[in-house]
Amino acid sequence: MATAALGHSSATGRAQLYGTVAIARRALRDARARTIGFAYLFAAVAYIQPVSYRHTYPTVADRLSFAHSFANNKAVVLFYGKAYDLLSVGGYSAWRVGGILVIFAAVFGLLAAVRALRAEEDAGRAELILGGIVGRGSAFFASMMAIGGGALLLWVAAFIGSVLGGLPAGGSAYLALAIVSAVPVFVGVGALASQLAPTRRVALELGGAAVAVCFVLRVIADTSSSLGWLRWVTPLGWAEELRPFTGAQPLVLLLPAAASALLIVSAWRIAASRDVGSGLLRARDSAEPRFGLLSSPTAEALRSERTSMIVWLAGVGAFSFVVGVISKSISSVGISKQLERELQKLGSGSVLTPTGYIGFSFIFFVLAMSLFAVSQVAAARHEEVDERLETLLALPVARTGWLGGRLALAGVATAVISLLGGLLAWAGAVSQGVSLSLPKMIEAGANCLPVAFLFLGVAALAYGLVPRATVGIAYGLVVVAFLWQLFGSLLGAPKWLVDATPFAHVGFVPAQPFRVGAAAVLIAIGVLAGLVAMAFFRRRDLTGA
Amino acid sequence: MTSAAVEFERLTVTRGGREVLHQVAGSFAAGRVTGLFGPSGSGKSTLIRAIAGVQASVQGTLRVLGEQPGSMKVRRALGYMTQAPSVYEDLTVAENVRYFAAIRGGELGAVLERVQLVDQSDQLVRNLSGGQRARVSLAAALVANPRLLLLDEPTVGLDPLLRRELWGLFGRLAAEGGALLVSSHVLDEARHCDEVILLREGTIVAQLSPAELAARTGTDDLDEAFIRLIEQT
């Protein structure tokens, strides 16, 4: 009897193990495009920074002058974090590579966790798997293993990139570790959000808010003289405190390790006890009927997108206000003409005056608004995947009207958010006594629109031509074009190739004039792409996921 | 007999690079329930999509209410229910139905009574059962009294009592003068239809009344009848 029972349980155990491995492999495969994309980015950034630093500041004198004037420039600290040593290639790389890649590592962890834990459940596939022999604990463990595999790949990519960039292997390994240390923490955040939220989208919004809060905490800690201790409460700050190449403090690794363990174990415990398909935050069961914004498909699109639009509005608004406030502390005192020219090579050229700094920062708002515009086309595609579009288009709803309405809504929302960003940056700057004209800042807000409209049109074109690939193509183009703007010239690409990205044609308003001609061309391309998109969309078949 | 509400000839439809319907011909009239039967993958949904005017790459002749499919006049008279419930999960039952009424420019009417969802009218669709969602989808198709109803597997996943009531509802809608095309892969449900179109691998095997089907195959068991019919052809 005992032997039989034992034999049975070991057979079950083996089947469970196979099941767990199968889930892990499936999850790895599912995430491969995103993982490989992030790995390329990590390797490229880790390679470019040490190389360009050595090239730009060959002598100790260059580096000294750079360190004195630039490192304490709050504008730069805002995006790249605190610098501990700018006289060595390693110290500079730790600052420029680590400071920015750790944010991407956080986003990677969040996306991976929500994708593996929540999206599967929303699609109903999790029920299918859990109905089989694999228990919840094993399924959770398998997903974590798959994400761990992805994180390992990112570590390898950052390591190889910085070794190829000429940094010593030991230090590179530690720098890569500092960057990747954010992954498990935000996997924990994503896993917990997946248990709390009733749907994937809400889980991503919760997790995204957590990343934003951690980023803002690091900004405050790095830019303020008295609140430096705040660095210890954000995982992005822990990565700085690990201090690669600048007096390593490996004991700090205990913090992300403990935080990840705590978050992941809590998520696991909730996952083991809650009902599949629901979240701890109970979704409302019923609601008083509100019949507003149900009069047409475009009105309904506004109704269903309004939460997301408000989140973007609040995020862009808050950040542009902070940019306005910080601009006060920017000055070019003590910077030589020689260094200023060098800074321009780094792509951060005109950071040295309040208006220059605001103009530079608004390039990031151009990116944000492009991503927002693209997200609206992704929402339209979602309507098609859910087959609701098929029902609508059988009714008196014209295809061109439906798509046109959604694009127009996206355009108007992009414009409102951008202009408000300009207004709030002005308010922030003026509150600190910076003299800045309001019309000029409205212009800075409007300066986000030509590129955003271009990408809106291009995303629509992808939607009209290759609906299944819409989301990947549209977001991918925005990100690649933006990175090309940052790194293209550093890689030594010829000017015409660097100019291929729309971001190269944006002036640093308010420091530079608004480029009317370039804006007209960008918008014209966007509108043309939108019109062609509608022509294709009229003829094509509707397709599911 | 009334004139045909929908008629098609030499209808060939290509979907995703594959020819799904091959030169099919047929018609159905208003005032009766026409069933569209066949195994999964036989082309039922594609035929319904073509009639609804949402299908690209349609060759041959297809007249819907005397017009081109997809013309605005047809769309205003059309009620369409897709196979997967295609309603908004974040809206309540009443909000969903109101939305589709607004698109058609019609009134809400007593459609929630017809699908027995009055008690759930303020519930979010997200929290409904599969059968209830299917009925919300049906309500969205019935709102504003369409003259032509295309229902793709409306009874799938519903309990026997509700299925019978829905087929009763379809009969009443037909008696009021509507033209109904209702698909199903449960051949037993053919007994509720005035006429059935049998599809197999993209071709129409037969179009006849359930009584004719029984007579031609010598059995009352409709599953068995379908198998015999295929063996005959």
As for the ipTM of the complex, it is 0.83
Inform me whether the pLDDT recorded for A269 exceeds 80.
yes
**Which chain B residue is nearest to residue A538, measuring alpha carbons?**
B56
Mean pLDDT on A421-430: 94
Q: What is the pLDDT, as a whole number, of residue A7?
A: 47
Residues of A in Cβ contact (< 8 Å) with B56: 539-541
Tell me the H-state helices in A229-280.
235-241, 254-273
Percent of chain A surpassing pLDDT 70:
84
pLDDT at A9 (0 to 100) = 60
Q: How confident is the model at residue A6 (pLDDT cuts 50, 70, 90)?
A: very low
A127 in reach of chain B (CB within 8 A): no
Q: For residue A125, is pLDDT > 70?
A: no
CA distance A206 to chain B (A): 18
Write out pLDDT tens, residues B34-61.
Answer: 999 988 889 999 999 999 998 988 999 9
Q: Dig out the tokens for B57 from the structure.
A: 């790459």
Among the residue ranges A17-21, A513-517, A534-538, the one predicted with the least confidence is A17-21
Domain match, A73 and A115 both: yes
Residue A48 and residue A75 share a domain: yes
Candidates B19, B49, B93, B95: best to mutate against A (most CBs of A within 10 A) is B95
- Yes or no, beta carbons of B86 and A304 under 8 Å apart: no
Which residue in B52, B122, B127 is closest to A289 by CB distance? B122
Last residue of a domain, one of A281, A315, A345: A281
What's the mean pLDDT in A401-419?
96
Query: Is a pLDDT exceeding 90 seen at residue B204?
Result: yes
Chain B closest-CA separation from residue A193 CA (Å): 19
Range with the poorest average pLDDT among A129-143, A292-306, B144-158: A129-143
Q: Is the pLDDT of residue A349 over 80?
A: no
Average pLDDT over residues A25-46: 87
Chain A nearest-CA residue for B96: A294
Torsion of CA A468, A470, A471, A477, to 10 degrees: 140
Flag whether A447 is in a domain.
yes
For A17, residues 6+ apart whose C-beta sits below 8 A from its C-beta are none
A258 and A125 within one domain = yes
What is the reported pLDDT for B229? 84
**Chain centroid to CA B81:** 7
State the architecture of B4-77+147-232 in CATH terms.
3-Layer(aba) Sandwich (3.40)
- Mean pLDDT, range A53-69, rounded to an integer: 77
Q: What is the pLDDT of residues B115-173, one digit of tens each?
A: 889 999 999 888 888 888 888 999 999 988 899 999 999 988 788 888 888 899 999 99
For the residues A474-497, what does the mean pLDDT come to? 82
A444 or A7, greater pLDDT: A444
Same domain for A305 and A258? no
Cβ contact A295–B78 (<8 Å): no
**Residue-wise burial string across A438-468, b where 16 or more C-beta atoms lie within 10 A, e elsewhere:** eebbbbbbbbbbbbbbbbbbbbbbbbbeebe
Q: What is the pLDDT of residue A260?
A: 95
**Is A484's pLDDT higher than 50?**
yes
Q: Does B99 touch chain A (CB under 8 A)?
A: yes
Q: Verify that A300 and A447 share a domain, yes or no.
A: yes
Each residue of A184-239: pLDDT tens digit? Answer: 999 999 999 988 887 777 788 788 888 988 987 887 787 666 778 888 999 999 99
Chain B residue numbers touching A396 (CB-CB < 8 A): 72, 75-76, 103-105
Q: Does A282 touch chain B (CB under 8 A)?
A: no
Give the predicted TM-score (pTM) of the model: 0.77
Query: Of A253, A281, A309, which one is at a domain's C-terminal end?
Result: A281
CB proximity A275 to B under 8 Å: no
Task: Examine residue A287 and state whether it is found in any structural domain, yes or no.
Answer: no
Q: Are residues A127 and A27 in the same domain?
A: yes
Asked if residue A383 has pLDDT above 60, the reply is yes
Q: How far apart are CA B118 and CA A86, in angstroms?
A: 70
Contacts of B82 in chain A (CB under 8 A): 387, 390-391
Q: Per-residue pLDDT tens for A360-371?
A: 788 889 999 999
A286 lies within 8 A of chain B by CB: yes
* Mean pLDDT over each residue of chain B, to the nearest integer: 89
Residue B110 contacts A where some CB pair is shorter than 8 Å = no
Mean pLDDT of A426-432: 91
Given a cut of 60, whether residue A343 has pLDDT beyond it is no
Q: Is B124 on the interface with A (CB under 8 A)?
A: yes
Task: Report how far apart the first and last C-alpha atoms of chain B are (Å, whole number).
Answer: 28
CA distances, A71 to each of A84, A395, B31 (Å): 9, 61, 81
A-contacting residues in B 152-181 (Cβ below 8 Å): none
pLDDT at A511: 82
Omega cis (within 30) before A510: yes
Question: What residues 187-216 of chain B have any CB closer than 8 A to a CB of chain A?
Answer: none
Q: Which of A281, A306, A329 is the last residue of a domain?
A: A281
Segment (H or E) for A196: helix A182-196
**CA of B212 vs chain A CAs: smallest distance (Å):** 33
The answer to whether residue A450 is domain-embedded is: yes
Residue A127 pLDDT class (50, 70, 90 cuts): low
B86: contact with A, CB 8 A cutoff: yes
A269 lies in the same domain as A322: no
* Partner B contacted by A297 (CB < 8 A): yes
Q: Are strands B33-37 and B195-200 parallel, antiparallel or unpaired?
A: parallel
**Spans of all domains in chain B:** 4-77+147-232, 87-145
Q: What are phi and psi of B25, to 5 degrees?
A: -135, 145
CB atoms within 10 A of CB B196: 28
Q: What is the pLDDT of residue B1?
A: 43
| CB-CB under 8 Å, A397 with B103 | yes
Q: What is the pLDDT of residue A415?
A: 97
Contact A260, A187 (CB under 8 A): yes
Structural domain count of chain A: 2
- Residue indicated by tokens 């800042």: A441
B30 phi and psi, to 5 degrees? -75, 160
- Mean pLDDT in residue range A328-350: 55
Residues 6+ apart with CB under 8 A from B222: B187, B188, B190, B191, B210, B213, B214
In this structure, the answer to whether residues A259 and A343 fall within a common structural domain is no
Question: Given A285, A390, A396, which is nearest B75 (Cβ)?
Answer: A396
Best mutation target among A387, A395, A466, A538 (most B Cβ atoms within 10 Å) is A395
Q: Does the pLDDT at position A515 exceed 50?
A: yes
Question: Is B150 an interface residue toward A (CB < 8 Å)?
Answer: yes
Sequence letter at residue A435:
S
Say which of B57, B103, B123 has its CB closest to residue A286.
B123
Cβ pair B54:A390 closer than 8 A: yes
A3 has a pLDDT exceeding 50: no
Q: What local confidence, expressed as pLDDT, does residue A97 receive?
A: 82
Query: Mean pLDDT over all residues of chain A?
Result: 83
Cα pseudo-dihedral A135, A140, A143, A149, rounded to 10: -110
Q: How far is A120 from chain B (nearest CA, A)?
A: 17
Residue A460: pLDDT band with limits 50, 70, 90: very high
Instruction: Mark whether A262 and A407 lie in a shared domain.
Output: no
Please tell me the distance from the alpha carbon of residue A168 to that of residue A94, in angstroms, as a whole number. 12
**A490-514 pLDDT, tens digit each:** 667 788 888 889 998 988 888 888 9
**CA closest to A537 among chain B residues:** B56
In a domain, A405, yes or no: yes
The pLDDT of residue A334 is 46
Model pLDDT, residue B232:
78
Question: Which pLDDT belongs to residue A48?
Answer: 85
Band of residue A21 on the pLDDT scale cut at 50, 70, 90: confident
Does the distance separating the beta carbons of B76 and A396 come in below 8 Å? yes
Q: Same domain for A112 and A155? A: yes
Mean of pLDDT values over B54-71:
92
Q: Do B95 and A394 touch (CB under 8 A)?
A: no
Q: Indicate if A345 and A302 belong to the same structural domain.
A: yes
For residue A6, is it within any domain?
no
In a shared domain, residues A360 and A323: yes
- Packing angle of the helix pair A182-196, A99-114 (nearest 10 deg): 30
**Which range, of A213-217, B7-11, B68-72, averages the lowest pLDDT?**
A213-217
Share of chain B above pLDDT 90, in %: 50
Q: What percent of chain A has pLDDT over 90?
A: 37
pLDDT grade, residue A79 (50/70/90)?
low
Most confident of A122-131, A365-374, A496-505, B214-223: A365-374
Q: Rounded to whole angstroms, how far apart are CA atoms A391 and A402?
A: 12
Q: Domain limits at A346?
A: 294-545
